[in-house]
Structure 1
Amino acid sequence: MLLMYKTGMCVETLANLKEEHIDFNGALLRLSGEIVKNREPLLLPYDETLVQLLSVLVNKNDEIRRAYKKDNKFVFITKYGDQIATGPSNNNIQKRLNRYAREYGLKNINPHALRRGFAKSLFEKGANLTDISRALGHSDLSVTTKYLYLDKNEVAENLWRFL
């Protein structure tokens, strides 16, 4: 959940994320076009918290794969070392999010809500709409503006800064 929230990554990309996509030294996800929805390669920076969490996850995954004699480099695997989601719907990830939401009393937790949270957070910090759109892999800015749920009052307030 944290990786999706802090990078805006869609669930399909998350399901296909491999260790080769993680640049620990540069704190970047170097996503090849083959795992990104719009097929455009993408660089997504991440923070120190994710550096540490991903490092632990990759090490644990190695132990699991060795124990079950699995040969893959997916970042998100099952407890038996298989890819966590193999179908086009990536339903296993959604089920896991639903379980965590119930367990921790979270409302409206789903992959799109996490991506919207990422976009909204960047926008509120002053990020350029075009940069947010590219980070989300959108080919059209209108899709990104829908993610942000900006009402007319918010737009007016934002515009006052530039007058």
Structure 2
Amino acid sequence: MTPFPDADDRASSFLPANPVTGGAALPSLTGDATTPVNPAQAYLLSLNSLRSRQTMASFLNIAARILGAGDLTACNWAALRRHHVLALTEILRDAGLAVATINTYLSAMRGVAMEAWMLKLMDVESYQHIQAIRQVRGNALPRGRALMGDEIRALFAACEAETGSIGVRDAALLAIILGCGLRRSEAVALSYEDILPADRALKVKGKGNKQRLAYVPDGAWQRLLYWIDQVRGEAPGPLFPRIRRHDVVTECRLTDQAVYHILQVRQHQAGLKKCAPHDLRRTFATALLDNGEDLITVKDAMGHTSITTTQKYDRRGEDKLRRARDRLIIS
């Protein structure tokens, strides 16, 4: 395989302008990419979930284009070296990407390098040099927000104002996401068989195919029962299916993107400022912590592996800062 041209580790030594990011450009990585197994594809297969594969494939395609290849399948990953990864992170930093996003790219590069080494396409020294690259450091304002009580009530009022099946379904869907802190992918993956009436709970499949029980609060449970009793029925299949025109309830499962669209429509009807499905999850975590629940309980409820991840969902500090601001008197 033809390796990358030699270059200095600093991004400034590369060509000036990249069509993907607008930052510095890298030498083309379009050498011999006809290996029996593509390291990037091998890395994607090693990931646990389809969603993770889709996300990382998107990142790798962008990285491949920055490196001068058409996509991840045409990229000569075996020729990847430390200075290319360093320059890639610098380009992404110059493009204004968040620290967490840049570190996700770095994680993908490390994963691909590991697969290239395991496939005997990369020497151990080059592999170790890539693995030794430190994550980018920096602090950024937390993403998203937690909804206030009046916003939540307005959201459900918007659903209830619509006559027909769609309003009932949307109210139940948003109530379950909000009341159980589900990811939108977890919500649409639910089936009727996942309901556990005796425990007033749902059997949820989270990231990495890890299952957990989500205990449903009373208000969300009542909205779910109303949706089942009045519209959906008790047939097996998706808990929240698509509804076509003229209130035709299908057997097709909603998609992640459909949940995003539903929330966008309902927040517009309710006159709310912008929020995303994940903000409902942040609202759930913040409410539990505000009620005095400990971090470990909240971590388990959200399906997190690390308490550190759970802490990022806590928006109580922002409310305290707002109240402190309102108490200040500046004359």
Partner of 1:6: 179
Partner in structure 1 of residue 210 of structure 2: 40
How far has the Cα of 1:14 moved from its partner?
0.4
Correspondence list, 1:12-161, <5 A: 12-31=185-204, 35-59=205-229, 60-62=231-233, 73-79=237-243, 80-86=249-255, 90-149=256-315, 151=317
CA drift at 1:102? 0.4
What's the offset of the Cα at 1:151? Answer: 4.3
Confirm or deny: 8 A CA contact 1:8 1:135 kept in the other structure.
yes
Match in the other structure for 1:160: none
Q: Which has the higher contact order (CA 8 A, sep 6+)?
A: 1
TM-score with structure 1 length normalisation? 0.76
Following superposition, which runs of at least 4 residues in structure 1 exceed 2 angstroms of deviation? 47-52, 82-86, 149-152
The total of aligned residue pairs comes to 141
- Unaligned 5+ segments in structure 2 are 1-173, 244-248, 321-331
Greater Cα offset, 75-84 or 126-135: 75-84
Considering only aligned residues, what root-mean-square deviation do their CA atoms show, in Å? Answer: 2.3
Instruction: State the 1:100 CA deviation.
Output: 0.3
Q: Tell me the amino acid that sits aligned with residue 42 of structure 1.
A: R
What CA distance in whole angstroms lies between the structure 1 residues aligned with 2:310 and 2:200?
Answer: 25
1:150 to partner: Cα distance = 5.5
Query: Secondary structure at the residue paired with 2:207?
Result: coil
- CA deviation map 1:73-114 (0-9, x unaligned): 11111114133424xxx1111001000010111223311110
